[in-house]
Structure 1
Amino acid sequence: MEENQLPSTPHAPGAGQPVDPTIQRKHAAMMERLSNRHQSRLAGKHDPNSIGAPSFESTQSFLSQFSESKLSIESHLSRIRKDPDPTHKDNLETISLSISDLEKLIAENSYFLPPYELRTCLNTIDNLKQSLDDVTSLVIPKKKFSFKNKPSKKPAQQDAVCEAEKKQNVSLEKLGFKDLSVAPGFRGEENKALVEEFTGSELGGGNGEFTLSDLRDCEVRLKGRLRALFMDKLTNCKVYVGAVMGSVLIEGVEGCVFVLASHQIRIHNAKDCDFYLRVRSRPIIEDSTGVRFAPYCLSYEGIEEDLKEANLGEETGNWENVDDFRWLRAVQSPNWSILPENERIGTVDISNM
C-alpha cells in the first residue's frame, strides 16, 4: 500500500519481496526533484513555474515530503513492534538507512529552512532513531551483547560519567574531531599570554586539531590555519583565532571574548560571552545564556590568504543567524543577542606575536 512505502529502501519490510517498481520510480523522481531544486538555488536559478513564489511554498513542499517519509518509517516500525521476530533484522537495517537518508536530506536543504522548522526536523530524526533503538532491542535482545564477566553491580555515578563521555565522543566525531587527548594545545594555565603560529604544512600539528582547556584570565593568539579547534572550561579569557578549516566546538565557558573564523561553530554551556565570528553555516548554541554576536574583526599579516585558503574569504553574514537548539519556539531566543556597535572591540591586530 502507498502508506507503507519505505523511502530510500531497495526492499520493503515484511516478506522480503522487492518494492513495486512504480514506487521505486516515484521515490527516485522525488529525490531527483529535491536535488535539482537544491542545485538550482545554489546556482542562482529558479524554476520558471515558481517565479515570484514566496519561499514559504518551498518550505511547505519540503515539509510535506519530510512528513510522508516520517510517517512511512513510523508505520514500518509499528508493524515490527507488533511482531518482533528475529527475521526482521534485515528490515531494521533498511529502516536505519532510510532514517540516514532523511537526515541527509535535511542537511542538504537546511539553508532555506526557517530555524524553527529545522530544529523540529532534527528533533524528529532523533525520535525516529530512538524508536528504531527501542524496536531493535525487541527484535535482538540485549543479552546477546552482554559480557559474561561483567560485574553484577556498577556505581550509578560511574555509569553517568561513562554515558556523558560516550555522548561527547560521538558529538566530537560528528564534528570531525579525533583523539583530543593527544592533540596539541594549551591546558591548565592562568594569567598568561598564550601564542602559537601555524604554517600551511603544519595545520596545527599532528592531525590538525588544537585544544584550549582549563584556562583562566588568559589571552590566546592563534595565527595561521587549523583543521579543528576544541575549547572547554575557559573563564575570563580572550581568544583570537585565524582560520579554522573545519569545526570549532566550545564547552563550558564564562566571561570570555572569542574572535573566530570557521566553517562550523557549536557552543555549549556558555555564559556572558561575546563572539566575533565569520562562519560558513549558522552558529549553534545550546544551554547558553547572555551570549552576544558580532562580525569577525581579527587582523594580522597574511590573514587574507589564510582565510581564502580555508574558503572563508567572504563574509556570509551568518554570524547573526544563530540557532538556539534549546529554544523551540518560533520567536527570537532570549539567550543570545546582537552585540551593539558602540560596545564592540573594533579590529584586533595580532601581527606582533
Structure 2
Amino acid sequence: MDKLCGAEIVTGRILRRERERRHAMKEKREKKEENMLSTEQVSYFVDTFTQKRDEIEGALNAADLGEVEKNKLPSHFDKISKDILILQRFTSDSIPYLREYDIRKSQEAIQNLQQKLQELDKRLLPKKKFGFKKKSCDTRKESFLQKIEDTVDSIPVSTLPFKALCGYTENNCGFSGRTEENLSLSDEVICRKDIVLTNLVGCTVKLVGSPSTLHMASLHNCRIMSGPVARSVFIEDCVDCTFILACQQLRIHNTKHCVMYSHVTSRTVIEDSTQLGFAPYSLKYENMEHHFKIAGLDININNWNLVDDFNWLASDKPSPNWHILKADEMKDDWV
C-alpha cells in the first residue's frame, strides 16, 4: 500500500512538472509571436511612411522646379496638404506600437513637409498667402458640421464628407445644436455605437455605457462625461470644456482652455491646441467595471499623462501647450 502511494506521488510530481514545462513553453511561444508581430507592425509603418513621404516630397519638388503649371498650383498644393494630413493621421493611429525614436522622427518629417509646403505657397502664390487651404477647409467643415446636424439622431450619415478619414458610419447617435441642456444616453442606446456631439454650448452630457468611438466638434463651455470608449476619442474645435472619458487613444485638434480627466491605455495626441490640463479619470458609476470589460480596456493601465504634441518637437523641454493639474485643482465628484 505504501509503495502504491509513493508511486502516485511521484507520478503526480512528474505530471505537474510536465504541465509547468508546457505552460512555460506556451508563454515563451506567445511572447515570441507578440514580439514578431510588433516588429512587423513597426516595419510596415516605416516602409509605408517612407513611401508616402517620398511621394509628397516628389510633389513638392515638382512645384519647386516649375514642373506644375501656375494655374494648377492651388489644386496641386491642396492635394499635398491633404496627403500630409493623411500621413499625420496614419502616424497618430500607429503610435501605440511605435518606439519613441520612430514617433519623433516621423513628427519631424511631417513638420518639414508642412514648412516646405508653406514656403512654396508663399513664394509661388504670394497673393493667396496660403489662403486657398483655409477657405477650402472652412467650407468643407461648415458643410460637414451642417450635415451632422441634419443626420444625428435621425437618418444614416452615409453621405457625410470625410467619412473615410474621420470614421463616421451609419452606426451613429448623439446630440447637436443644443444650448444649456442636461443630456444623457444610456448603455442600451450607446453600446458599440459611434457617438457624435457637435455645436453644443453650455451643456452637460453624460454617456453611461461603452460606445465604440466618440467624436466631438465645436463644443463651448460644456462638460462631457463618458464611460469607457472601445477605440478612439476625437476632440476638435472645443473651448472651455471639461472632458471625463476613458478610451484606447485620445486625439485632440485645434482645442484650447480645456481640461481632460482621462483613462488612456495607449497615449494622447494633441495638435494645434493650447492651455490643456490633464488629470486621471475620476468618473464613477454603477457597472463601470463591466463596461471597461466590454470596451476591452484594462482598468489598471492608465497613461493619462503620456501626451504627444505634434506642434512641439523639442525632446529636452516639455510642451507649453499642456500641463498636469495640481492636486488641489483636480475634481472627483461629477454628480
Q: TM-score, normalised by structure 2?
A: 0.59
> 1:1-353 alignment to 2 at 5 Å?
39-40=34-35, 107=94, 110-114=97-101, 115-121=103-109, 159-162=136-139, 173-178=164-169, 183-199=172-188, 202-204=189-191, 208-330=193-315, 331-348=317-334
Shift of 1:186: 1.6
Greater percentage in helix: 2
> Does the 8 Å CA contact 2:276/2:323 hold for their aligned counterparts?
yes
Shift of 1:63: 11
Q: Sort the Cα spacing of 1:279 and 1:166 in 2 relative to 1 into closer, same or farther, 3 A.
A: farther
- For 1:199-237, what per-residue CA distance to the aligned partner results, in whole angstroms no more than 9, with x for missing partners? 3xx5458xx122212222221111011111111121111
CA distance in structure 2 between the aligned counterparts of 1:229 and 1:197, rounded to whole angstroms: 14
- For 1:60-103, what per-residue CA distance to the aligned partner results, in whole angstroms no more than 9, with x for missing partners? x999999997998799999x999x9xxxxxxxxxxx9xx99xx6
Gaps of 5+ in 1: 1-35, 44-58, 85-95, 131-154
CA distance in structure 1 between the aligned counterparts of 2:49 and 2:283, rounded to whole angstroms: 44
Q: Sort the Cα spacing of 1:185 and 1:163 in 2 relative to 1 into closer, same or farther, 3 A.
A: closer
Q: Report the AA paired with residue 304 of structure 1.
A: E
CA distance in structure 2 between the aligned counterparts of 1:310 and 1:224, rounded to whole angstroms: 9
Q: How well do the aligned residues superpose, as a CA RMSD in angstroms? A: 4.7
Q: Sort the Cα spacing of 1:314 and 1:122 in 2 relative to 1 into closer, same or farther, 3 A.
A: farther
Q: Report the AA paired with residue 191 of structure 1.
A: E
Q: TM-score, normalised by structure 1?
A: 0.56
> Does the 8 Å CA contact 1:193/1:220 hold for their aligned counterparts?
yes
Residue 229 of structure 2 aligns to a residue whose secondary structure is strand
> Does the 8 Å CA contact 2:45/2:94 hold for their aligned counterparts?
no
What stretches of structure 1 move > 6 A for 4+ residues in a row?
Answer: 61-78, 124-127, 155-158, 165-171
Percent identical residues? 29
Shift of 1:314: 2.7
CA distance in structure 2 between the aligned counterparts of 1:224 and 1:64, rounded to whole angstroms: 37
Q: Report the AA paired with residue 183 of structure 1.
A: N
> Does the 8 Å CA contact 2:249/2:266 hold for their aligned counterparts?
yes
Gaps of 5+ in 2: 1-30, 68-82, 118-131, 146-159
Residue 209 of structure 2 aligns to a residue whose secondary structure is strand
Q: Sort the Cα spacing of 1:165 and 1:204 in 2 relative to 1 into closer, same or farther, 3 A.
A: farther
Q: In structure 2, what is the equivalent of residue 4 of structure 1?
A: none
How many residues in Structure 1 have an aligned counterpart in Structure 2? 252
CA distance in structure 1 between the aligned counterparts of 2:252 and 2:133, rounded to whole angstroms: 28
Q: Sort the Cα spacing of 1:41 and 1:316 in 2 relative to 1 into closer, same or farther, 3 A.
A: farther
Residue 297 of structure 1 aligns to a residue whose secondary structure is coil
Shift of 1:336: 0.3
